[in-house]
């Protein structure tokens, strides 16, 4: 039975990954800093799908938390799939957000992805198989604050890592959804009233598309034809216009 480790699995895209992989008979290792929700999520998955679920309480914004997950990946039972999903947004805009909050975002979005990928790869290379999904965002393709910048790093890193490993049996992919109906925006106190209804995606659909693209060996997955079109058109638009449109829609 294969095993998947998922960060941020208690809601949104992470929870959708947990459901999908449990339905596919994966054993799960769930990583979150919220002990209570972590235990509740694990119990629900065990009851519904009858799979083994291990919980690992860790705050990925801290060195201690990152080291705990690294140790599990390096020294624990083999992990076949890592989903680096944990992430968050800020309530304010750059440059009004305190520097320590920005650094915390970079630690979760970038350093955690780097370190957990590095921790997982030796075992995958030894077994000659495995996969890593790093959840980025369609925002990475546009000039919109430090959130988009951090997710742009995730895409660049994932592509570089996949090419460096150079083994089609070890897949590394950045998943780049657009607006998804999750707790993300509420937690960041973001006003979503200006976002057109047709731009919203469902987390389960995002995961379904992402798993399909992973199986196809893609290094970057943009779920849904709407966002594929938006990203393609955005690449043709001058950066200044990009920024103005993104600023109107993004908040």
- Tens digits of per-residue pLDDT, 165-215? 999 999 999 999 988 876 554 554 455 556 667 677 999 999 999 999 999
Active-site hit among 142, 147, 179, 227: 147
Determine which of 7-11, 167-171, 208-212, 236-240 has the lowest per-residue pLDDT on average: 236-240
Only one residue has tokens 């060996």, namely 217
50: left (phi > 0), else alpha (psi -120 to 50), else beta?
left
Six-digit token string for 93: 């805009």
What is the residue range of 56's domain? 3-250
Alpha helices in the chain (DSSP H): 12-23, 35-49, 63-75, 99-106, 112-127, 145-165, 184-187, 203-215, 225-234, 239-250
Band (pLDDT 50/70/90 cuts) for residue 2 is: very high
Active site residue 227: no
Q: Could you tell me which residues are beta bridge partners of residue 3?
A: 27
3-state secondary structure of 240: helix
Q: How many domains does the chain have?
A: 1
Confidence at 92, pLDDT banded by 50, 70, 90? confident
CATH number at residue 33: 3.40.50.720
For residue 60, give the nearest of 165, 137, 135 by alpha carbon: 135
Q: For the residues of 162-224, what is the DSSP string, one character each?
A: HHHH--TTEEEEEE---SBSSSHHHHTT---TTS-GGG-B-HHHHHHHHHHHHHTT-SEE--S
């Amino acid at each position: 039975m294969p095993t998947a480790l998922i960060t941020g699995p208690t809601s949104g895209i992470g929870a959708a990954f947990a459901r999908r992989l449990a339905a596919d008979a994966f054993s799960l290792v769930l990583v979150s800093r919220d002990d209570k929700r972590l235990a509740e999520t694990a119990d629900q998955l065990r009851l519904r799908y009858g799979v083994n679920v291990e919980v690992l309480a860790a705050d990925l914004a801290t060195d201690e938390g990152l080291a705990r997950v690294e140790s599990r990946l390096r020294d624990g039972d083999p992990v076949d799939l890592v989903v680096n999903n944990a992430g968050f947004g800020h309530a304010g805009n750059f440059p009004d957000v305190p520097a320590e909050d920005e650094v915390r975002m970079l630690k979760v979005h970038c350093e955690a992805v780097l370190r957990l990928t590095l921790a997982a790869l030796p075992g995958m290379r030894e077994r000659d198989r495995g996969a890593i999904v790093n959840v980025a965002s369609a925002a990475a393709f546009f000039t919109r604050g430090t959130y988009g910048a951090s997710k742009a790093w995730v895409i660049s890193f994932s592509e570089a890592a996949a090419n460096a490993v150079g083994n089609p049996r070890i897949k590394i992919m950045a998943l780049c959804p657009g607006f998804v109906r999750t707790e993300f925006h509420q937690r960041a106190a973001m006003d979503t009233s200006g976002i057109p209804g047709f731009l919203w995606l469902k987390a389960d659909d995002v995961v379904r598309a992402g798993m399909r693209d992973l199986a196809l060996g893609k290094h970057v997955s943009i779920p849904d034809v709407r966002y594929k079109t938006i990203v393609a058109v955005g690449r043709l638009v001058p950066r200044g216009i990009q920024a103005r449109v993104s600023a109107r829609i993004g908040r």
